Structure 1
């Protein structure tokens, strides 16, 4: 906006009843409307409303300090005004004003920033009052006080004004001096969601689901994210209320189709949200069941009455059931069993088809995956060779570039010949033909899953192999951190002040980092960065449900975590009050004699006691809850009496936790 100026034909000061010409000047080719306002002692009068006339004649009738203000706006603008300026003008021989100047920390701010106002005056002490003008209305933000400064958060965009009124301590005037300053508030840049994705590859029940939102916004702004889960019935649940965390994780207990709604806004935004994003996903009850391999420990053909083990290597599912069907001259059906292997001992020679069917226990389908192999049984055969086990010296999780020793144990001793085949992505990488050596070294050159097939046969056998075994080797740039065990005292009751000590047992400990997050009553209260230590100590300071999440990852891992476990404990404020007992200092009680009843109990924290007395069939409260644990009573009338003592901890909101009653006769 071009600069707006005020031009007077006579310089200040002037005497009252002087005719003064006031002209507004702005350099622009647009059509401009002008509004002239004159203020004195906190009172403002509009001399001329918006019009195309750029000047007025002003004839002041009273002495004093005046403020001449001009507002300008372009034709057809929707704003209240586009520019504003003001000028102080003195009429008469008025003393120097009380306010020298008003300073603002910024002339231009963004919504949500703090405006700080400082008033410079000609004397001290004085009284100050502060107003702001928004939407053409003046609103008081602080009534008369002795502080010459004020600060507040600006909430609405636009050109704003602040009015400072000042008066002497003993003044009866509405104000003795005033000053107006203008400032501009710019709206904050709208936050925009540019990416909303799921970081979890497989969306499975009871497994951590991790979602991340990416948004664009001005540097230095605080952005808040809120996540709401919507199930297939349209029911909503807030997973995370507004916070600066743009990553949310939770577990889903039921399978089905879901939506996750993310609301994002600037911390100082006046809107419910600035942008929103929605992602649809399906949570499966378990990972898809796939038969990776179906093998027999002995190669076809074999002779009758030979024990042949059928084995299915399956991934996925939650609680797997296996079924093995053998079709041929004889039919065998294992029915669904929990074991992934089945031993078949054929009685008749011939050709057979061996089938493996697998499904999860919860599935109502006949099967979820199925495969088969052909097998021949002969009447006579050479002595079969059987692989008993394949040993990997470093286990099946190894580092890329490090050698792995593969060793085979079989039942054939010196009559066995061995062959090794290694595949990756169904492509053969290495092959060692039959030889007498039962071990070999293998160096994985890439990250991924390698399939190791070991073949064994009798040295005189004409078969391709007598027995074979398939194993899998996982190669990594680093060994992912894995939490084996989380050790902590298995106490039935934790009390405020008891130390909770957690020890984490991990594989490859020196290469792993551990992070701990502590949540109390579903509110995160403490957390660590990834550290080398495997111990975590915490002393509870309040009662409630404590959840400690333990995250583990390799130093080189770029994931949020490689492995995760959690423990939950309930911490009590104190042990429950038990064994409340009333004792008395007398056995024989007579009228007009005092007797004292004292109470003891076990447990509790800062225990309070309340006493009731029963006489003539009516209970009366004699002593309200207090730390005083005794009550003194003097009977005046003979008869039967009862004393009831109630006990509870001082923090407890219930009526009582324990009690005892004693009866006596006077």
Structure 2
């Protein structure tokens, strides 16, 4: 009775006209059940998710059916199962999954009903195949479903076989591509200077819902979150220190799935910049005004050095050499047009310069005093330098000197540009000195002073040198005798003693001093004679020691300032002075934590070094002399990556080549940062095709399959994302028609009935090819397929024996090639694959069921034996005979087993069993009787 209820319900679910369902649906809509959907899993291509159809406010559910039509290119239904609203005893009556549509019916058995009010009706396991929108449009109307107005037909029934009305909405589920964080892009490739704004943008595809982005920066061993999760697709970062950085980006979608990517980035010191020269007093200013000069500088590596120049009257003068002084105070002494020049260099040797103009005007003419280099009184013959102390005045000044003695003024020097006058009195007595100074405007100032001159005896008190003994070889030494007194003009004679011999280096002359430069080390003596006009002579001697010059290595010079690119030749030259004998030079390079001798001790004054890798280097030079004294110096040097360059595309076989010829494509690349990636494209017949996406493969082997004009394109990118591309043309001609062999998908021998796929291996030929297939057996050739475009033919031999296969291939020019092969076919082994019935289980009592075993192979005539198992006992219903099938009519309901034995003439036997359910016959009405 319970089974009869279920069967009636199934009939109603499947067959009740939709009009009555709709009527019932409309009538009970106010108390309707609510149906909704739940999709569990990640809605990305390739994922397997569970689509659950759920019900709430449900009462007295007994059975349900589901028909669902879908786009088989969008999704694949793997399986359908009943939900938890049905009991474990509930029977699944229909479970049919076919391409593009499923049908599923489940029902309770007997008086069981669903007591749950809320739960799941059906669970569909779904594989997502491509991007798109999965729309569920439900209906309870079979006509609407068949008319494709809806794609989901859902029917619910109670135990009385009445439809249960429900309400539900159309719902869309968006299938997206796989969530990937492909790359981190920056708008400015590494390296960049401190203070440069770098825009960081992750390259993301896929993901569910709104994406969130989080940005990290690593520096000096520490990670810092610079922007926490937000919807910002990019982040602008401005580094404040030079060094090696890492950039990390986390991206997560609304499902909580997170992807991360990291990249390295190098920040260098900002380039040295000298923007202007500032002065604390704007031009013009008067002569004698102190002016503070300050260069306005930014950037640069390490400590900065400043050098100050002044240009005046056509000549540049260094007023302060390189030092750490940020400013210089300059007091101009002459009026005119000046230029101020400042050099600034950093610790890497980078130098910047700037120039400015400055005007200095004359101050008012003033003569404050007359200065003499020797205070009064002085002895006769003492030279006295007279210098007026003057300021201001316009244009060039003129000076006039007077001496008064014995009641008379004498002009000793008329107006001239000489700022001073040297006066040597020849008589003792009281003198007056007078100076007139006038400027170009004729303004004149005058001053007078008194001076006393006494008689003096000639005296040579000592010999003075400007550099105290000892000094090194080659050092210039100024010798000056200290003399006083004497009559008239004095004469001086200079001698040098060395190695046991006196040499006159300067005979008597009026030269008050002599500059001597010793050329050898040793013990010397210096002798000076001084005589006056009366012939009185005084002499003096002194000892002096000269030593060898000490070895000195002041700096390492390079012909190209750091930084330079990989592969740049750099000439290294140590700046050396002093040392004994011949010098020897040794050159070292430090990189990646290791020192390497690139040139051992030799007489080479310089070394040319070509770095092959980017990074921070140190250069070290040892210099030693013949005494073994050694001096060393070190300098730092930065080598950057060479810029990525793709100069040409090379092929191992020059164009043109025949179809089928393998061509090796190799881009000629130099430079670039990190590991390089290569992408290969082929253009043919108006369309570009990627034949190999980005990978580390330096070359690609391409075998063209059609004749015509091609283009080859290669993209090369480095680890910083910099990309270079190149294109070349290539011509492919038709290859000659060739039939090299006949291939079969199953090697000889095979059994009778085995399908064998025959495929000729062909290359070349013009236009479309045609294929003809022959089979030879029992002394006769048979055409099994005439000329057609079919590249292969499937042949199923029906007899055992020796065969030959022949294939003709011809092209559109009529050229034909042929090939033959032998093939052996053996008898097939006996096989019983399954038992087929003409009516699927379950069936009612009294239904005739035709049983047919599916048999192949075997030798000679086959014999068949049929058994039925019921109620714990096997019964032979037909013994061995040649009957291929048996018709069985069950008389009782229950679970049965069907068994078939098949044997051939060799006695080989195969058996197979299957289960079968027989149900009670449905109750028939009086009318049916």
Give the structure with higher Rg (CA): 2
Q: Same fold (TM over 0.5)?
A: no
Q: TM-score, normalised by structure 1?
A: 0.25
**TM-score relative to the length of structure 2:** 0.19
